[in-house]
Amino acid sequence: MPFSELKCLRCGRVHHPAKNLYVCTSCGGKLDVIYDYQAISDVINRGELAKRKNGVWKYYELLPLMSRKNIVSLGEGGTPLIPARNLAKELRMRHLLLKDETRNPSASFKDRPMSVGVSKAVEFGARAVVCASSGNAAIALSAYAAKAGIKCHVFVPLGAPKSKVAQLLMHGAQVVQPKESGVGDPTYKLMQESWKKFGWHPIPSAGAFNPYQPEGSKTISYEVCEQMGWQTPDWVIIPTGAGTLLSGNAKGYFEFEQMGLINEVPRLVAIQAEGCAPIVRAFKEGTSPYEIPPWPSPRTVAGGLVDPYPWDADTAIPAIKRSNGTAEAVSDAEILAAVKLLARREGIFAEPSGAAGLAGLMRLLDEGVVSRSDVVVIEITGGGLKDVATAMKMVEKPVTIEPRLEQLKKLFVADLKQH
């Protein structure tokens, strides 16, 4: 198989893939999946990919599974890349595109990595999986675990939206919401302890404790390249929490460049909320990824971006620098304005975390970092129905009237005069 080994990103030790091997056995560092790209290039080319059915598993040879029989799929991937003509006009841009990940089975990009993560767990013979997540990763994991017929345990923050918790419970997950206790993330603490104590297979939101599931996020980059006719945009703007999605995107572009399928990698942009922006701060201050302190008292409306400790900063920050990209933080007010603008100009209803990329673009345009003539792709990472409570606070309440035409005329008198 083209998937040949695992390499520790901290100490450099190379490991042969083995059952239940998720972190470096020497230093506990994060493992990276290494492929034989020459062998893959003998199978994968533009013509071959054009023949295949769209979706994550279209790129099977670039994913870490030993046998197709272990694939657990709900039809993830193959999401549209939509020209945002209305937004482009409003922002005075020439080329703006939206990668709409709300179209995935559980309405977020997390279905991509969780399909890969659960498939690998099945290949390992797992009977139970465990996750620490602010919501979307846990939801996706619970859905794929249900499809695979294995138990799912999830640790979710107390502040997670009820709509997300409802999805988890409906899929049959065992949901635990630990109370905050001192510095650090209690959900990750319990995930690590239960994984080691009970033998549950860890498939968290971040890639620090599982090298397999982050590989699914690469497929977003693969699709963008194909959908743009093997050209790449000038910028790809990515909502960022722990840095996992950006790291996965980067690996996809770097792989396609190495295989000669694209000529250059786009500039990658990490967008975080001002209330929890450890990667942005570290990028701007030049802090080593291994020396980033946990963000104290994170608070933001974009709950999906709340990762006090950026578990994947060690791959995200180098990727931003290698691509000549940047990182920026935006306020809650900017994020909520982007949610409404995206819905009312392009018909895409995103949760705050999912729309943060648009807020970031508007900030970067105002600062002159991004040119209005550049080709820009924004990833819309999660659907708005995941946080209905926040959405209802942003809109006016419906009007109640008697079912009589006279009352309707009074209500819409201004609109009727225009016609």
User: Residue 226 domain-assigned?
Assistant: yes
User: Residue 357 domain-assigned?
Assistant: yes
Between the CA of residue 413 and those of 191, 395, 399, what are the distances in Å?
Answer: 58, 21, 15
User: Residue 248 domain-assigned?
Assistant: yes
User: Residue 239 domain-assigned?
Assistant: yes
User: Residue 46 domain-assigned?
Assistant: no
What are 335's two structure tokens? 């994020």
DSSP state of 145: H
User: Residue 167 domain-assigned?
Assistant: no
Do 273 and 236 meet the contact criterion of CB atoms below 8 Å apart?
no
Give the β-pairing of 128-132 and 151-155. Answer: parallel
List pLDDT tens digits, range 247-292. Answer: 999 999 999 999 999 999 999 999 999 999 999 999 999 999 999 9
User: Residue 247 domain-assigned?
Assistant: yes
Compute the mean pLDDT over every residue in the chain, rounded to the nearest whole number: 94
Residue 314 domain boundaries: 81-105+213-394
Strand order in the sheet with 81-83: 81-83, 95-100, 375-380, 235-239, 267-273, 326-330
If one counts the domains in the chain, the total is: 1
Q: Which of 15, 22, 3 is nearest to 204 (CA)?
A: 22
Q: Is 106 exposed, middle or buried (0-12, 13-18, 19+ CB in 10 A)?
A: buried
State the Cα–Cα distance between residues 149 and 131, nearest whole angstrom. Answer: 16
pTM of this structure: 0.94
State the Cα–Cα distance between residues 412 and 399, nearest whole angstrom. Answer: 11
CATH of the domain at 332: 3.40.50.1100
List pLDDT tens digits, range 138-191. Answer: 999 999 999 999 999 999 888 888 888 999 999 999 999 988 776 667 888 899
Bridge partner residues of 202 (DSSP): 130
User: Residue 42 domain-assigned?
Assistant: no
List % helix, strand, coil for the chain (3-state, nearest 5): 45, 15, 40
Amino acid at 141: L
DSSP state of 109: T
